[in-house]
Structure 1
Amino acid sequence: MAAAHVLVFPFPLRGHINRMLHFATALVGAGVHVTFLHTEHNLRRLGGRASASSPAGSPRLRFLSIPDGLPDDHRRSVADIFELYKSLAAEAIGPYRALLAPSPTTGSRAADVSVDPTGGFPPVTCLVADGVLPWAIDAAEELGVPAIAFRTISACSFLAYLSSPKLFELGELPFPAGGDLDEPVRGVPGMESLLRRRDLPRLCRRPNETDDVDPKLHTVVKLSADSSRARALILNTTASLEQSALAHIAPRMRDLFAVGPLHAMSPAAPCSSLLREDDGCTAWLDGHADRSVVYASLGSLATISRDQFTELFSGLVAAGYPFLWVFRPDMVEVEAGQDAALQEAVRGAGGSGKARVVAWAPQRDVLRHRAVGCFLTHAGWNSMLEAAIEGVPTVCWPLNADQQINSRFVGAVWKTGLDMKDVCDRAVVEKTVREAMESAEIRQSAQALAQQVRRDVAARGSSATEFDRLVKFVKKLSTSSDSPSST
């Protein structure tokens, strides 16, 4: 029987890498060989931090790299995602195919493999690729390697993308410019009484009366539909959070696995942070009372205007609580040479003693700290899961992608926080933060949900059971060219 060897290929952005590396580490713990595929640019940024295998030093995990086609000084920011997507598809396909079917004479570029072309690993028997890389899935199947898709967004947002053709058919998309954003949206099963126009991704909004829908929306919708071609779809979620959405997605996929939150199922994954974390956050939090600090972070990619910065910052100060704010150097859009006042405001906050401003924070450590009372977040799915399992109330200020739907579920379904979308006013920030910090009902809901999610990832919980089923699925794929579902 051939040893199972899974090639795990994330889209090369921090949030995608983090969760798929937790997934890879969990596979290693289940006895599977794993090759984790970075881009050359990201592997250089990680340096020696990526060369560690598993927490136990398992020889079953290795890191290889392929080019993304962009120069090293390219920003690779959220505004450039589609450029990165196109460049990766064009430049990586040759080296990628060589990893799936390596020549015995050429080998492959490896971060930690130099002895032989395969690095002592068996041939790749299965691919788990980011669902936004359908070309990677298609190439694997062409070479006889069965492929599984992995999406890093929430099930509810994935379902909305899957439902978009129906929304176009019903005339729900695109939204008219200047229309009522609180208008209910029909056509997303299970969410008919929940979703409003403002809860769908910003790509759904017409910029003005003359423009048609953003063509990027059609691209994203097609990427979601393409997941049905894979042998299965993996989602980093749990039935406790998204049972209804999962039930509506399942019939449209060949198989479906809900195996999250993965960071809680494999907490000791190798370092994957492309940003250097400030190691003084925990010590600073230690000096504060329980549930007295607001933690604020808008993720690793988001950019905001100077006016938005001013309103968020002023609202946090006015709320009156100590706060820990992740303020990346590239987060605020300002003209060159015109950021002196902004930097002075940040320095002033950090010197006040009531605030700590850092370029990046160890978020999971921060959220589990007793001093944190609420989390002001962009509502990215990774952040939502990290807050959920720690029982931390959230204030959601979503910006793009799946964040609009995630924040709606926080405020209207799970009731573990407040949704502040489409508003950036200091008075609203102040009021919303205070309510999240002081509401006993929100805190009780957050803690109750945390208890359930922890049960899901524990032994015999729903996510743990699904992961066991997934490992068996992968091993069966690795011994047969046919999908288990078709035999």
Structure 2
Amino acid sequence: MAAAPAAKPHLVFFPFPTQGHVTPALQLARLLHHCHGFDVTFVHTERNRLRLLRARGPSALAGAPGFRFAAVPDGLPPSDEDAARDDAAALLLSLPTVVPQFKDLVLSELPAASCRRLLLVSDIDPILRAAQEIGLPCVTFWTTSASSLMAMQQIQHLVAKGLVPLKDAEQLRNGYLDSTVIDWAPGLPKGMRLRDFPSFIRTTDPDDAVLALTLRLTECYRTVPSAVVFHTFEELESQVISAMSDILPPIYAIGPLPLLLREVGAGAGGDHAASISVGSSLSKEDRACLDWLDGKRPNSVVFASFGSLVKLTCEQLVELAWGLASSGYDFLWVIRADQQVTGSAAGATAVVLPPEFMAETEGRGRVTSWCPQEAVLRHEAVGAFLTHCGWNSMLESVCAGVPMLCWPFAADQQTNSRMACTEWRVGVELSEDPGREEVEAAIRQVMGGGRGEELRRSVAEWKYKAALAARLGGSSWVNLERVVNEVLALVDKK
């Protein structure tokens, strides 16, 4: 008599607790729960739990049969602000507090809530290592581009070759980052400059803590998880995905997740469809900006947003403001309450734009603190996206067919920008500290003229390829099935 099939493992999702990681992790968790019947526990940090309650109310954490939320203390001071106050440095320093709390959750609470074996899905190095210590099988879900992870994997070689750390601070300013070409990185463009690598290399300190954490993270991904799942699609990053297979555990590309969720939602009805696509914003969204866009002509509005982490100096904000104003185009601009760099130990104050700018742009500009970005990008009025090149933002822009003005700041953003501007040809890159004239010229270039038409054609092609990958039977759906059958199912055989 044939043995009964083993029960599916209970999935424990714990993403790095910033908006850009939480959103795709929740999307994947919803997808696996809805399409494959996995029980899921989605873990937030305590501060994010409180932010969700303020931003979206109790429904954001209500869960559903087989899908529950949990929270672990993070040691961070509570915040009463609704603005996105993600601080990567503070979060990294809080991880030693989180690890024992997470272990206690796994060893004490979750076994009582589920008779199934547990499997962790995370991108947090110390959490993955903690899982290994307690015998919890784990999978990495990398929420940014495959290209950026490959670039990060090369940092150990850059250190070995003496290129990193930098010899002195002058190399940050004298063109060294532009003139130093790295043509040996597998799967990456031959013309990659040192400037195009993740910003963690931009240090002169051989004991730099962030550089050390980056090297530890890339080593963890090579040795700890049983698989690495990427939020991308094969057609977009085929070369680097192929090269990555030689250095990582089995890898799978399963994006763009918003399109996969839309495919599922189209076949579901009523409340069930709503539960699949529930939002994950940690801040209150200004949905009235969609009504404002309704009154605008197609492709007439520049959308500017820099995610939940990037901060700008007062000078950068002013130059950007006047660049938007001088371009002559309408614009929707997201400025978080904590967007501006401040020297005050008490934290940021609300950004105040020049009154002359507000008067100049009255009626054709709207400034808001946060918005439903995916819906904004899909709106027919939006003709260009001025972005920091966070990966969620870039995928959403590609899926909406909107060309980009790329202004990368930190982490993976430099690599994402390079790929978008020179390989995929869906954007133009701004300099590291653009003045108003450069901003104005770039907007005019993308919104109109021959260059703008070229970018729109290219991004339309990638939009089509992304849609094909996300359709039932497309490469991302095939890879999702492989994750279930080749990775998650193997948990029961150990």
The one-letter code matched in structure 2 to 1:279 is R
Task: Give the corresponding residue for 2:304.
Answer: 296
Task: Give the corresponding residue for 2:12.
Answer: 7
What is the 5 A alignment of 1:224-235?
224-228=218-222, 229-235=224-230
Q: Does the residue aligned with 2:385 lie in a helix, a strand or coil?
A: strand
Q: Is the 8 A contact 2:337 2:369 kept in 1?
A: yes
TM-score by length of 1: 0.88
Q: Aligned pair in 2 of structure 1 residues 419, 389: CA closer, same or farther (>3 Å)?
A: same
Q: Is the 8 A contact 1:163 1:187 kept in 2?
A: no
Q: Aligned pair in 2 of structure 1 residues 213, 387: CA closer, same or farther (>3 Å)?
A: farther
Task: Give the corresponding residue for 1:406.
Answer: 416
2:123 corresponds to 1:87: no
Q: Aligned pair in 2 of structure 1 residues 349, 335: CA closer, same or farther (>3 Å)?
A: farther
Q: Displacement of 1:125 after TM fit?
A: 2.2
Q: Displacement of 1:478 after TM fit?
A: 3.5
Q: For 2:148 and 2:99, locate their aligned partners in 1 and report how far apart those are by CA, in whole Å.
A: 29
2:474 corresponds to 1:457: no
Q: Aligned pair in 2 of structure 1 residues 238, 193: CA closer, same or farther (>3 Å)?
A: same
Q: Displacement of 1:424 after TM fit?
A: 1.4
Q: Displacement of 1:430 after TM fit?
A: 0.5
Q: Is the 8 A contact 1:350 1:357 kept in 2?
A: no
The one-letter code matched in structure 2 to 1:380 is G
Q: Does the residue aligned with 1:23 lie in a helix, a strand or coil?
A: helix
What is the 5 A alignment of 1:120-199?
121-130=114-123, 133-176=124-167, 177-178=170-171, 179-180=174-175, 181-183=177-179, 184-191=181-188, 193-199=190-196
Which deviates further from its counterpart, 216-225 or 370-379? Answer: 216-225
Q: Does the residue aligned with 2:236 lie in a helix, a strand or coil?
A: helix
Q: For 1:291 and 1:77, locate their aligned partners in 2 and report how far apart those are by CA, in whole Å.
A: 28
TM-score by length of 2: 0.87
Q: Displacement of 1:427 after TM fit?
A: 0.6
Among residues 198, 201, 206, which one is paired with 1:201 in the alignment? Answer: 198
What is the 5 A alignment of 1:192-341?
193-206=190-203, 211-212=205-206, 214-228=208-222, 229-267=224-262, 268-334=276-342
Q: CA RMSD in A?
A: 2.5
The one-letter code matched in structure 2 to 1:82 is A
Which deviates further from its counterpart, 416-425 or 324-333? Answer: 416-425
Q: Displacement of 1:78 after TM fit?
A: 8.0
Q: Is the 8 A contact 1:316 1:430 kept in 2?
A: yes
Task: Give the corresponding residue for 1:113.
Answer: none
Deviations 1:126-160 (A, max 9, x none): 11112xx2222232233332111111121111001
Q: For 1:444 and 1:87, locate their aligned partners in 2 and report how far apart those are by CA, in whole Å.
A: 45
Q: For 2:359 and 2:287, locate their aligned partners in 1 and report how far apart those are by CA, in whole Å.
A: 19
Q: Does the residue aligned with 1:333 lie in a helix, a strand or coil?
A: coil
Task: Give the corresponding residue for 1:97.
Answer: 103
Q: For 1:417 and 1:15, locate their aligned partners in 2 and report how far apart those are by CA, in whole Å.
A: 21
2:459 corresponds to 1:468: no
Q: For 1:216 and 1:187, locate their aligned partners in 2 and report how far apart those are by CA, in whole Å.
A: 24
Structure 1 vs Structure 2: percent identity of aligned residues? 36
Q: Aligned pair in 2 of structure 1 residues 342, 86: CA closer, same or farther (>3 Å)?
A: closer
Q: Is the 8 A contact 1:204 1:213 kept in 2?
A: no
Q: Unpaired runs of 5+ in structure 1?
A: 109-116, 482-487
Q: For 2:98 and 2:203, locate their aligned partners in 1 and report how far apart those are by CA, in whole Å.
A: 34
Q: Aligned pair in 2 of structure 1 residues 24, 341: CA closer, same or farther (>3 Å)?
A: closer
The one-letter code matched in structure 1 to 2:456 is R
Q: Is the 8 A contact 2:321 2:357 kept in 1?
A: no
Q: For 1:51 and 1:275, locate their aligned partners in 2 and report how far apart those are by CA, in whole Å.
A: 14
Q: For 2:296 and 2:281, locate their aligned partners in 1 and report how far apart those are by CA, in whole Å.
A: 27
Q: Is the 8 A contact 1:100 1:124 kept in 2?
A: no
Q: Aligned pair in 2 of structure 1 residues 288, 475: CA closer, same or farther (>3 Å)?
A: same
Q: Is the 8 A contact 2:187 2:242 kept in 1?
A: no
The one-letter code matched in structure 2 to 1:221 is L
Q: Displacement of 1:202 after TM fit?
A: 2.7
2:398 corresponds to 1:392: no
Q: For 1:480 and 1:134, locate their aligned partners in 2 and report how far apart those are by CA, in whole Å.
A: 25
Q: For 1:79 and 1:272, locate their aligned partners in 2 and report how far apart those are by CA, in whole Å.
A: 15
Q: Displacement of 1:77 after TM fit?
A: 8.1
Q: What number of residue pairs does the alignment pair up?
A: 458
2:356 corresponds to 1:356: no
Q: Is the 8 A contact 1:404 1:421 kept in 2?
A: no
Deviations 1:346-403 (A, max 9, x none): 9826970110110001100000000000000000011000001111000000100010
Q: For 1:341 and 1:221, locate their aligned partners in 2 and report how far apart those are by CA, in whole Å.
A: 36
Task: Give the corresponding residue for 1:21.
Answer: 26
Q: For 1:249 and 1:315, locate their aligned partners in 2 and report how far apart those are by CA, in whole Å.
A: 40
Q: Displacement of 1:19 after TM fit?
A: 0.7
Task: Give the corresponding residue for 1:111.
Answer: none
Q: For 2:356 and 2:10, locate their aligned partners in 1 and report how far apart those are by CA, in whole Å.
A: 48
Deviations 1:50-107 (A, max 9, x none): 2233xxxx4111100111111214999888423322322x2223331233222xxxx4
Q: For 1:374 and 1:318, locate their aligned partners in 2 and report how far apart those are by CA, in whole Å.
A: 16
Q: Is the 8 A contact 1:3 1:122 kept in 2?
A: no
Deviations 1:286-323 (A, max 9, x none): 10111000000011111110011011111011111000
Q: Does the residue aligned with 2:237 lie in a helix, a strand or coil?
A: helix
Q: Does the residue aligned with 2:76 lie in a helix, a strand or coil?
A: coil
